[in-house]
Structure 1
Amino acid sequence: MKSFKNYMPSFLYGFSFCILLLFLLQQGILFFSIDKDQKSNENILTFQKIEDMYNLILDTYYEPVDTAELLNSMLETMLNNVDFHTTYIPYQDHLRQSEEMSGNFYGIGIQFSLFKDTIVVVRVLPDGPAQSTPLLAGDRITHVDGKEITGPNIKNELVLNTLRGDKGTNVKLTILNSSKEIKEISLNRGEIPLHSISSSYFINPNIGYIKIDKFSSTTYSEFIDHTNNLINKGAEKLILDLRGNTGGYLDQAVAITEELLEKGLGIVSVKGQYRNEIIYKSNYNGQLSNFPLVVIIDEGSASASEILAGAIQDNGRGEIVGRPSFGKGLVGEEFSLGDGSVLRLTVARYFTPSGRCIQKEMENDYNYSYDTSNYEDYFLNNIDSTKIFKTLDGDTVFGGGGIYPDYFIQPEFMSNSVSSFFTENLDKIDELTFQFIDLNRARYSSTKEGFENLIIDNKNNLISMISSDLDEYDNFSNIEKDEIYLQLEVLTARNFLSTKEFVYFVNNNDSAYLKSINLLNSEL
């Protein structure tokens, strides 16, 4: 017979699980036909079986079971028969995601990398708590509050959880600097902004460039600040880069789109089985409504990014350049499950102003083909050519398969031999490029000019490091070696430059970016 002590955890977890199931039923999340008594009784019996199985596992399994892990797996299994955008998010994961989307967190203000099982400071962030301390790029953090934080078990998540904390709380760091001196640094955690716009800059003679990485709660206000700055510098045209932007908050995407449109134009409509239709339109002439505009997208542009790009394309407002977008035409909402965890549930579809839903059908997987001979055909096959729509200026667009660009830019790929070289040796190459930066960090500023000087002065040293540690390098042809070096430059720049400077560096040789400039200079 169970003792009361042993029975209570089982009862509480089982009871909580049943409460969760009842909540899901009330929200219309479980698609059971509960109007019929027979079906309702079957569902109740099924819930009872789930609880019985859970109790049996806890009480009779041959070894201890992690109850939290078991419950999480049950919740995740429940979602196998709905779209994969509907997900259960445990408390800790949701906490981290909420920080990312809120636009700030409390920490010490550094960008770090893990190198040889040690935290290495890559950059001290401006205006953060660490800026007023002796902490410098290249320093190794060995202890936090007296506790060693090195070794093979150290992971990014552990570092983040250790360095972040409540506002104003004190943290003591032990560091090993480039001179092999051990120092103690004490500082208080402060607010660290998480910018959703990673880069913006002015391009002569009159073009502004803005890259939006996600649509967080601060994106619209960031966008206004960046555009005002560009206008003050003389910008009269705009490139909006949404590549790799997987989406975010709908209201932020709508607000930015409104700044790009004239009054009265459609932006998006949203409708679901349990959601009344909501139609979003521009309520005023946007600040940038008269700016010639190019939006750059790729297969990583999804959801809110596609809403913005779709509104621009359907209203004939600007040109879309790049590669077809991801194809997520669904809207999700988060439902709290009481313990900090949430259910992110798909509740509606959205439709662009022309009336199309760009959702890629579920049977079409989301793994993209990288065969240069059929890359464009792959996306065309995902478009539903039976669903034909017209943009405001009369162009034909299709439903399904994402947003197809007005100007398709073929992706640039490494040769198979060079791709294999990087795939097989990526960890070692990362280590070598990091060592290269470490050896030269003190002599060059972390600006694009500093990076250019670093590469000019030390190109042969970088190649020598790769050649010495990776024997197969010497077997490549000169053309392949040139290709390898270009990739080494990018890897080095990623670890040396700020995000803004890195975006500028990569864009200089980017086909979609250069095409966008040419279009704007040719007066769209």
Structure 2
Amino acid sequence: MSGIRYSAVIAACIGMSFSARAQVNPNEKLAQALKAIQENYVDTMEDERLTDAAIRGMMKELDPHSRYFSREESAGMRQAMSGSFVGIGVQFILQHDSLYVTQVIAGGPAEKAGLLAGDRILTIDNEPVTSIPEGNYGIMKKIRGQKGTTVSLAIQRKLIAGVINKEIERGTIPDKSVKAAYMVNSHTGYISLSIFNLTTRTEMDKAIQDLKKQGMEDLILDLQGNGGGLVQSAIGVADEFLQKDQLVFYSVGKDKGKDYYYSGGFGNFMTGKLVVLIDQNTASASEILTGALQDWDRAVVVGRRSFGKGLMQRPVNLFDGSVLELTGARYYTPSGRSIQKPYKGANYEDNVHTRLASGELTDANVIHFPDSLKYTTLVSKRTVYGGGGIMPDKYVPIDTTEYAGWLQRVTGGGLVNKVTFDYMDSNRTMLLQQYKDFNSFNKQFTVPDNLVKEIVTTAEKSGLMLQPGSKDRTLSLLTLDIKGQIAGQLFASNDYYLQVMNSDNDSYRTALQILENPAQYAGYLKSDAGVKKK
């Protein structure tokens, strides 16, 4: 009899469960779960922490690009997109439990206060550098702050006895999206964009105008590794190259309505040969720009198939300062292409290794497009494809040595930074006397063999052995990296690092070759020349 009563109780509970499930509003259910945790969980949990976790869990049910940013994260995101930050204008390296200044930004507060590359920072606001938690990130937070406030630094300078104390007022420091802009030769310019933020269009205006004053007729626009940013900035950059009222892209939202975005006709380089460099990490706003230029037959696209992000995010601000960045629309290039790659059931984020494993990054013939994804450009009616990134007009395979474990682990582990800085610390004065400018340095400077040997020896002692089959190529890239870092530190600009590295970049060299051959350039824009697309 007791068993019957027990079964009846279970049945009643199940019935109540189904009834409650049918009646409870999902919002009430979430609140009930939060209350249950607060009242019954063995440890105390902060409400905000639990709420953040619940929201992040909901985001996982959406697409890979819908994200939640807490108050702190959203503040950092806004700063990253602003094109500037508040600080003193230095770059630094932390090694041997010491903090060294590697670059001083021209015109910034640190330069005005007399800081020099090579200075060793001992304390920040009287706190020893060695006691600041979180390493580089903690130090950055201590140095940055509110505009107009001061930070106190105690430094040591080589060849000067004693400690030098500096009180530096924090100011606005530009965080440029144009990584480098220089003349390759008498008529070809080069601009590298790392992100699309609020100052990108202004930076592009200045860069193009400066290069045109130096005789630029052709341009290489480098979007390799550019993961995107603000869509409006991508439209602004497209405006530099497209004629008035040419469609840049259109979007389709939840209601299936279409919004169209056009160029304004106020560009600085609407004629002249243009090559755009892309790779597997070129994404989002970069793909919007590349797709527009390719669809209008305005540029020859060189490199490897881009990432494949065709979803537009719209920020929804929550009352506490946090932000939901939700996919609100899909975007399409002027020819009608969606370039969003599949993400359900795919290893979506592991972009490089997945593509290396498939062979796509070394052989264009591995990439197959079905006829259903075929589109035509708007002027020359060339064949282009959607459904998974922008396929370049001229495919350039990846240099697999760059992604080999040895080189990545040595550079990522800071070993090259350490050896380079030690060399600069001992030889800075001599190098500045010997090389008056970057051009003379780039032509004449040779990396000392002992620097390369030191890195290789240290790496091998830690178990990182060079592979015989790729040893020569690996050492060549390592040597170039050392030279680039020395150039950047010596002449206080990261532009020079990229300029050195470009000398051995296959996509960059291919772009130059195409620009130097007008018939070849025209051929890519008039027919389905280049890689055969299947």
TM-score by length of 1: 0.84
Question: Secondary structure of 1:119's partner?
Answer: strand
Give the CA deviation at 1:374: 4.2
Please list, as runs of the form range in 1=range in 2, the aligned pairs for 1:55-74 lying within 5 A after superposition: 55-74=35-54
Q: Does 1:512 align with 2:507?
A: yes
**What is the CA–CA distance in structure 1 between the aligned matches of 2:402 and 2:312, rounded to whole Å?**
39
Q: Which residue of 2 aligns with 1:3?
A: none
Question: What is the aligned-residue identity percentage?
Answer: 30
Please list, as runs of the form range in 1=range in 2, the aligned pairs for 1:171-190 lying within 5 A after superposition: 171-179=151-159, 181-190=162-171
Contact 1:117 1:152 in 2 (8 A): no
Counterpart pick for 2:457 among 467, 489, 497: 467
Q: Which residue of 2 aligns with 1:486?
A: 477
Question: Secondary structure of 2:475's partner?
Answer: helix
**What is the CA–CA distance in structure 1 between the aligned matches of 2:96 and 2:215, rounded to whole Å?**
46
Give the CA deviation at 1:234: 0.7
Contact 1:320 1:407 in 2 (8 A): yes
Give the CA deviation at 1:483: 2.5
**What is the CA–CA distance in structure 2 between the aligned matches of 1:474 and 1:78, rounded to whole Å?**
45
**What is the CA–CA distance in structure 2 between the aligned matches of 1:407 and 1:43, rounded to whole Å?**
60
- Over 3 Å counting, the alpha-carbon distance change for 1:492 and 1:457 in structure 2 is closer
Q: Which residue of 1 aligns with 2:26?
A: 46
Q: Which residue of 2 aligns with 1:14?
A: none
Give the CA deviation at 1:88: 0.3
**Aligned AA for 2:241?**
L
Contact 2:151 2:169 in 1 (8 A): yes
Contact 2:88 2:171 in 1 (8 A): yes
Q: Which residue of 2 aligns with 1:15?
A: none
- Over 3 Å counting, the alpha-carbon distance change for 1:268 and 1:421 in structure 2 is closer
Counterpart pick for 1:361 among 328, 337, 342: 342
Question: Secondary structure of 1:327's partner?
Answer: coil
What are the ranges of 5 or more consecutive residues in structure 2 without an aligned counterpart?
1-17, 522-534
Q: Does 1:295 align with 2:281?
A: no
Contact 1:118 1:151 in 2 (8 A): no
- Over 3 Å counting, the alpha-carbon distance change for 1:109 and 1:285 in structure 2 is closer
Q: Which residue of 2 aligns with 1:336?
A: 317
Q: Does 1:432 align with 2:419?
A: yes
**What is the CA–CA distance in structure 2 between the aligned matches of 1:400 and 1:379, rounded to whole Å?**
17
Give the CA deviation at 1:486: 2.7
Q: Which residue of 1 aligns with 2:527?
A: none
Q: Which residue of 1 aligns with 2:230?
A: 249
What are the ranges of 5 or more consecutive residues in structure 1 without an aligned counterpart?
1-37
Contact 1:267 1:308 in 2 (8 A): yes
Return 139-148 or 125-134, whichever deviates more.
139-148
Give the CA deviation at 1:388: 1.6
Question: Secondary structure of 2:338's partner?
Answer: coil
Q: Which residue of 2 aligns with 1:19?
A: none
Contact 1:437 1:492 in 2 (8 A): no
Give the CA deviation at 1:265: 2.4
**Aligned AA for 1:307?**
I
**What is the CA–CA distance in structure 2 between the aligned matches of 1:494 and 1:439, rounded to whole Å?**
15
Q: Which residue of 2 aligns with 1:203?
A: 184
Q: Which residue of 1 aligns with 2:4?
A: none
Return 441-450 or 221-230, whichever deviates more.
441-450
Q: Which residue of 2 aligns with 1:401?
A: 388
TM-score by length of 2: 0.83
Q: Which residue of 2 aligns with 1:145?
A: 125
Return 420-429 or 138-147, whichever deviates more.
420-429
Contact 1:214 1:245 in 2 (8 A): yes
**Aligned AA for 1:205?**
S
State the Cα deviation string for residues 492-518 of structure 1 (Å, max 9, x = none).
623651211011101111111111111
Question: Secondary structure of 1:470's partner?
Answer: helix
**What is the CA–CA distance in structure 2 between the aligned matches of 1:239 and 1:424, rounded to whole Å?**
30
Q: Does 1:113 align with 2:93?
A: yes
Q: Does 1:87 align with 2:74?
A: no
**Aligned AA for 1:183?**
I
**What is the CA–CA distance in structure 2 between the aligned matches of 1:152 and 1:432, rounded to whole Å?**
24
Question: Secondary structure of 1:162's partner?
Answer: helix
Give the CA deviation at 1:425: 8.5
State the Cα deviation string for residues 375-415 of structure 1 (Å, max 9, x = none).
35689657554222111211111221100000000011218
Q: Which residue of 1 aligns with 2:397?
A: 410
**Aligned AA for 1:320?**
V
Give the CA deviation at 1:73: 1.2
- Over 3 Å counting, the alpha-carbon distance change for 1:93 and 1:378 in structure 2 is farther
**RMSD (Å), alpha carbons:** 3.0
Question: Secondary structure of 1:138's partner?
Answer: coil
Q: Does 1:237 align with 2:218?
A: yes
Question: Secondary structure of 1:260's partner?
Answer: coil
Return 395-404 or 253-262, whichever deviates more.
253-262
**What is the CA–CA distance in structure 2 between the aligned matches of 1:51 and 1:108, rounded to whole Å?**
46
**What is the CA–CA distance in structure 1 between the aligned matches of 2:59 and 2:121, rounded to whole Å?**
41
